[in-house]
């Protein structure tokens, strides 16, 4: 039962921790992550959301309001990090929706989770890029985006998925 579990408070707390950690990681490793021209962007918050959906599907009768928390995370991301309202507030819940859709086709485990996360990060970065182009935040060309941002970001985030999947599952089962 979601209503009675520790996840009710644990999920949002760790969600915000992940959100703030994204910024701290970007700041502390900025010399390596934003080593021009390539940029690796950390998306731990998406990792937590996606893992939430994956583990939710594992346990049968366990519905969590992940979509709603994704919207809240998107609002904070937009206001606090970018200052441009209206981008991630839509992308984060979309990713949750997309993950739920994919999970209904593929049974989630470590490997299929990795694939789903690959798709999520690609969609996230692509939509973020399109929005950035639309409001003239970036003037990067499409090929530059794929080589310099999408590639390294995917590599970094998939590595984070591999490293953090089992710890997150442990945390999740502990909270449940």
Partner 1 sequence: MQKFSFNRRLVIIIVCLIVSFALMTVSVAIRNKKSTPPLIQQFGNDIVGLTDRVVAVPANGLSGSVGAVSELLNTYQENQQLKQQVSELAQTKVRDQTLAKENKQLKQEIKLNDSLTDYTAISSAVITRTPSSWQNQVIINKGSSAGVVKNMPVMSGSGLVGRVAEVNKTNSKVELITDNNDSANRFAVQITTKSGKTVNGVLSGYNNTTGQITMNNITTKAKISKGDKVVTSGLGGVTPKGLYVGKVAKASGDDYGLSTKLNINPATDLSDLNIVTVAVTKQ
Tell me which residue of 6, 20, 45, 57 sits closest to 124, measured CA to CA: 45
**Residue nearer to partner 1 on the CB measure, 113 or 128:** 128
Among 1, 60, 61, 83, binds partner 1 (CB under 8 A): 83
**Residue nearer to partner 1 on the CB measure, 119 or 146:** 146
Does residue 118 belong to the site contacting partner 1 (CB under 8 A)? no
**Residue nearer to partner 1 on the CB measure, 115 or 155:** 155
Count of residues of this chain found to bind partner 1 when the rule CB under 8 A is applied: 49
Identify the residue whose tokens are 């080593």: 35
Among 59, 79, 106, 159, binds partner 1 (CB under 8 A): 79
Q: Cα separation of 81 and 42, whole Å?
A: 13
Contact 47, 24 (CB under 8 A): no
Helices 44-58, 7-28: crossing angle, 10 deg rounding:
150
Residue 67 tokens, joined: 């979509």
Cα Rg, the chain, nearest whole Å: 16
Interaction site with partner 1 (CB under 8 A): 16-17, 20-31, 34-37, 39, 41-43, 76, 79-87, 89-90, 128-129, 131-132, 134-140, 144, 148-149, 153
């Amino acid at each position: 039962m979601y209503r009675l579990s520790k996840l009710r408070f644990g999920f949002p707390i760790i969600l915000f921790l992940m959100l703030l950690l994204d910024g701290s990681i970007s700041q502390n490793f900025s010399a390596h992550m934003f080593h021009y021209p390539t940029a690796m962007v950390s998306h731990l918050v998406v990792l937590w959301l996606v893992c939430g959906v994956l583990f939710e599907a594992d346990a049968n009768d366990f519905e969590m309001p992940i979509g709603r928390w994704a919207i809240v995370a998107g609002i904070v991301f937009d206001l606090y990090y970018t200052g441009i309202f209206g981008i991630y507030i839509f992308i984060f819940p979309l990713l949750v929706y997309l993950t739920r859709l994919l999970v209904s086709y593929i049974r989630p485990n470590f490997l299929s989770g990795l694939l789903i996360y690959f798709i999520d990060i690609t969609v996230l970065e692509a939509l973020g890029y399109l929005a950035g182009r639309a409001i003239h935040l970036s003037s990067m060309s499409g090929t530059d985006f794929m080589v310099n941002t999408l590639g390294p970001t995917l590599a970094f985030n998939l590595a984070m998925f591999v490293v953090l999947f089992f710890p997150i599952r442990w945390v999740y089962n502990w909270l449940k």
